[in-house]
Amino acid sequence: MLEFIKKNIYLILLFIITLSIGFLTFLTFIDKGFVKLNDQNLQYLLILNILLLISLFIFIFFEIQKAIKNDIDQDGLKSNKKYITYFALFTLIPSVLISIFSLFLFSFALEKYFDKKVTTVVNNSYELAINYVEEIRNKIQSETVLIAFDTNKSKKFLNDNIKEYKRFLNTQKIIRNVDEIHIIDMNKELLFTTIDNSQFFVPPLDEALNLVLEDDRPLKIINAPENMSAAIMRLQNFENRFLYVVKYLDKNISKYLTESQEAINFYYTVEEKSTGIKVSFAIIYIIIVSVLLFLSISIAIRFSSRFFRSINNLIYASISIGKGDFDTKVPEVKTDKDLEILNKNFNLMIERLKNQQDKLIINERHEAWGSLARKLAHEIKNPLTPIQLTIDRLKDKYSSLLEDKDSENFKENLKIINNQIKQIGNLVNEFSDFARMPKPTMRDNDLVSLMKENIKLVNEIDKSIQIEFTKNLEKIVLNSDKEQISRVFFNLIKNSIESIQQKAEKDSKSNKKVTIELSEIDDHIYIVIVDSGIGFSKVSSNIKDILNPYFTTKKNGTGLGLSIVNKIISDHNGKIDFVPISDGAKIKIDFVK
């Protein structure tokens, strides 16, 4: 998930910006955003929405195109694109249908929102709230007239006695169902009151007091933020005295009036901008659907590349195997566990097929060369004995008849012929050995001791060459033919020594060293021989030619040594690899126990 976010960070930012502008446009249409609601601002917002939406579409298009090119086209399988198309359609078609249905439903709901019955209810509810407040105003006004009438009538009785006034005003307060009754002068000084603490007295505004100075009619006062309705009236029977009556409304009345006013304003704003609201809602929906479609296609591409890439690799590998190329490997890619196991098993199968093919080729090659070797050995060996006997007769018959000088030349020539006959005899013997190589007799043998014995033997060839032997276990056992495995070790180490000697003839200061590593890891036994000789790059352009019978670079070699070694290793369920290095040669042998 984190990798997906990092990979698509710019698209995510563009989506957030586009969606935010879409919501801002919607809020502006309903006059709830921080942008002022006017035609110019709405025009700018709609243009910005269109530009961002086009940018989002272009960005999504290129991202999908790039993903298809990187993850789908490179595999070249039509089924990938087919499933991607299906995945996209399965997301697009329901999204489009839901979008159309949602827009239709939204439009229908918006029209019902502005139904005449709803409009009537909204208007009537506000009118009821206004009428309720107005009724309280009128009631306070009438109660003020009554209290003023009783106060004027009781002038003599009250006689400016504070206690009498307080008792009288409290009685009026209870009878008239008001909250506060005050008698003030024209300077708004409090003369008599029903409240216990005069510090809480809030005098009327100067404008209100001035209006009743010369008028005997009561004046209604309303202060909605304080939830207070009041009235003031001049007391006719008193000089410089005014009656000020206060009635506190329900504490939620002001809030209800404000909310009702806001609701009505919002209602008519929405009604006026209904088309714009539909447009902004459609833009928001298109943005969300576009991103969901992109996510769907991206998931489809990711799923397809994870699943079908493994299938593609298996298909291509099977095609290569069908053509006989067993060097093909199925790339190990991160995918489902079952597919990873399938890839691994397929590679193991290829490896086994290749090993079986190599063994079959080696056996067929050895059988063919063995048959040829037997015929050559027979055809060459037969004339060798008569030739040798003839040379002996010539030597006995003519050496005494020749002069000393000619006799010496004659004997020297006969000696050369004898040497060549011996070389031919050796070649015939190797042919015979190659043709008669027996099947291995398997027993458990300690390769460590066998390697030490052969190192001791080859050390006698050239003691100036250093042979270094290391192993990871003191005893490494392989079910094998002791003589044949010893022959493998001896031939390979001997070849390394001869390669170093051949290099030393041209460069006396060259390094003379052979390192041998023997190790057992899991079910495998590994042997690595590294020398500082002439290397394989100077032997042949194709390193596999080294294993062919009769291929040799030695002056007196037959080219059968490595071929026999390869046959023995193959018979022991192993394989040999020749690795070119910068200064020398490296041989790796792998036996499977």
**Residue 523 CB partners (closer than 8 Å, separation 6+):** 592, 593
pLDDT value of residue 555: 47
3-state DSSP assignment of residue 157: helix
pLDDT value of residue 540: 46
More confident residue, 567 or 497: 497
pLDDT band at 450 (very low <50, low <70, confident <90, very high): very high
571-576 CB contacts, 8 Å cutoff, 24+ apart: 571/439, 571/440, 571/481, 571/484, 572/440, 572/478, 572/480, 572/481, 572/484, 572/485, 575/355, 575/358, 576/547
Element holding 196 (H helix, E strand): none
| Residue 463 scores a pLDDT above 90 | no
Query: Mapped to the 3 state alphabet, what secondary structure does 49-81 carry?
Result: HHHHHHHHHHHHHHHHHHHHHHHHHCCCCHHHH
Distance in angstroms (rounded) separating the CA atoms of residues 522 and 517: 16
More confident residue, 84 or 484: 484
| Residue 118 scores a pLDDT above 80 | no
Q: Both tokens of residue 453?
A: 């014995």
Distance in angstroms (rounded) separating the CA atoms of residues 551 and 539: 10
Angle made by CA atoms 389, 390, 391, in degrees to the nearest 5? 90
Distance in angstroms (rounded) separating the CA atoms of residues 448 and 545: 30
pLDDT value of residue 524: 92
Residue-wise pLDDT for 241-297, tens only, equals: 899 998 887 767 666 667 777 777 666 666 666 666 667 677 777 777 777 666 666
**Residue 544 CB partners (closer than 8 Å, separation 6+):** none
Distance in angstroms (rounded) separating the CA atoms of residues 485 and 212: 132
Whether the CB-CB separation of 518 and 482 falls below 8 Å is answered with no
Element holding 195 (H helix, E strand): none
pLDDT value of residue 589: 93
Tokens 């996510």, located at residue:
295
What percentage of the chain carries pLDDT values higher than 70?
A: 66
**Residue 448 CB partners (closer than 8 Å, separation 6+):** 471, 473, 474, 475, 476, 518
- CA count, 13 A, side-chain hemisphere, 446: 8
Q: Kindly tell me the burial class for residue 327, based on how many C-beta atoms sit within 10 Å of its own C-beta (0-12, 13-18, 19 or more).
A: exposed
pLDDT band at 551 (very low <50, low <70, confident <90, very high): very low
Distance in angstroms (rounded) separating the CA atoms of residues 533 and 155: 140
3-state DSSP assignment of residue 555: coil
| Residue 223 scores a pLDDT above 70 | no
User: Lowest-pLDDT range, 68-82, 162-176, 332-346, 514-528?
Assistant: 68-82
Total Cβ atoms within 10 A of residue 372: 15
Q: Both tokens of residue 310?
A: 């493994």
Whether the CB-CB separation of 254 and 224 falls below 8 Å is answered with yes
Whether the CB-CB separation of 533 and 514 falls below 8 Å is answered with no
pLDDT value of residue 206: 83
Alpha-carbon Rg for the chain, nearest whole angstrom, is 56
Distance in angstroms (rounded) separating the CA atoms of residues 550 and 563: 8
pLDDT band at 469 (very low <50, low <70, confident <90, very high): very high
Of 495, 490, 467, the residue nearest 554 (C-alpha)? 495
Distance in angstroms (rounded) separating the CA atoms of residues 513 and 584: 10
Please state the length of the chain: 593
Distance in angstroms (rounded) separating the CA atoms of residues 25 and 32: 10
pLDDT value of residue 84: 65
Distance in angstroms (rounded) separating the CA atoms of residues 479 and 521: 16
pLDDT value of residue 176: 87
Residue-wise pLDDT for 375-390, tens only, equals: 666 667 677 777 777 8
What percentage of the chain carries pLDDT values higher than 90?
A: 8
Of 116, 109, 115, the residue nearest 278 (C-alpha)? 109
pTM over 0.85: no
Q: Both tokens of residue 571?
A: 């018979």
What does 4-25 look like in DSSP terms, one character per residue?
HHHHTHHHHHHHHHHHHHHHHH
- As a whole number, mean pLDDT of residues 379-406 equals 73
pLDDT value of residue 541: 47
CA dihedral sign of residues 219, 160, 174, 251: positive
pLDDT band at 112 (very low <50, low <70, confident <90, very high): low
Residue-wise pLDDT for 169-222, tens only, equals: 888 888 888 889 999 988 888 888 888 888 888 888 888 888 888 887 887 776
- As a whole number, mean pLDDT of residues 48-76 equals 68
Distance in angstroms (rounded) separating the CA atoms of residues 550 and 373: 11
**Residue 384 CB partners (closer than 8 Å, separation 6+):** 421, 424, 425, 428
Distance in angstroms (rounded) separating the CA atoms of residues 294 and 92: 10
More confident residue, 562 or 473: 473
Whether the CB-CB separation of 377 and 371 falls below 8 Å is answered with no
Whether the CB-CB separation of 526 and 472 falls below 8 Å is answered with no
Of 157, 133, 284, the residue nearest 221 (C-alpha)? 133
Distance in angstroms (rounded) separating the CA atoms of residues 292 and 306: 21
| Residue 367 scores a pLDDT above 80 | no
- As a whole number, mean pLDDT of residues 219-236 equals 75
Amino acid of residue 13:
L
Q: What is the mean pLDDT of the chain?
A: 75
Angle made by CA atoms 119, 124, 125, in degrees to the nearest 5? 100
Total Cβ atoms within 10 A of residue 429: 13
Q: Where are the alpha helices (DSSP H) in 30-38?
A: none
pLDDT value of residue 550: 46
Q: Where are the alpha helices (DSSP H) in 186-252?
A: 206-211
3-state DSSP assignment of residue 510: coil
**Residue 157 CB partners (closer than 8 Å, separation 6+):** 164
pLDDT band at 81 (very low <50, low <70, confident <90, very high): low
- As a whole number, mean pLDDT of residues 401-423 equals 76
